[in-house]
Amino acid sequence: MPSRFLLAVGGVATVALVAFPRPQVGGSPAHGVVATVAVLALSLWPAGTALRLPRRVPREVAASPAGTPPWAFRRPVALAVTAALLALFGWSVAEVTGGSRTGLAERVAALAVTLWPLAAVLSARRAHRHWTARPSDPPRPDGPPIGPGRLGAGA
């Protein structure tokens, strides 16, 4: 639940940026607060998912027969991504407070926190597809092999 909360807060704060746009000249405290909440929540989300998931899960609920989560949700990957996203956030804060590449830093950090949930979803979908359609399953006349958890002719 904490990781879902972080993802939801990050998403809501990202949408809230529409209500608090950055002015053409000068700064906006409201925009800064909302952007900070969005980037921090989305930066901490990978660590939240990795720390909340067990290292090994039962085979019947795992994305793989070995009981390991998809690559994006494995602890080393998720913690490294969180560290990288927080470093990008730190760079954008440093640029906002006195740098000359503020726009670049903000855009890179925003792009990174936006793309990571997409990468996580794609890794989960790939793992699910890979492990539910096994070569040992009988072929269906109208499509790919049927794996466990999918409805077949006898279901």
Is the per-residue pLDDT at 138 higher than 60?
Answer: no
Tokens matching residue 72? 């994006």
> In the beta sheet, which residues pair with residue 140?
143
Mean pLDDT of the chain: 78
pTM: 0.69
Helices marked H in 17-150 = 29-52, 75-96, 102-132
- DSSP, collapsed to helix, strand or coil, labels residue 101 as coil
* pLDDT for position 81: 94
Is the per-residue pLDDT at 152 higher than 90?
Answer: no
Give the C-alpha distances (Å, rounded to integers) separating 19 from 15, 30, 38, 58.
8, 9, 14, 44
Q: In the structure, what pLDDT confidence band is assigned to residue 153 with cuts at 50, 70 and 90?
A: very low
Residues present in the chain in total: 155
Contact 55, 75 (CB under 8 A): yes
What pLDDT, in 10s, does the model give residues 58-113?
555 555 555 677 888 888 898 999 999 999 999 999 998 888 898 899 899 999 99
Contact 6, 39 (CB under 8 A): no
Q: In the structure, what pLDDT confidence band is assigned to residue 154 with cuts at 50, 70 and 90?
A: very low
Tokens matching residue 132? 């539910």
- The amino acid present at 34, given as its one-letter code, is V
Is the per-residue pLDDT at 151 higher than 50?
Answer: no
Residue 53: name the closest of 41, 44, 62 by CA.
62
Q: Which residues contact 22 (CB under 8 A, 6 or more apart)?
A: 28, 31
Mean pLDDT of 39-59: 76
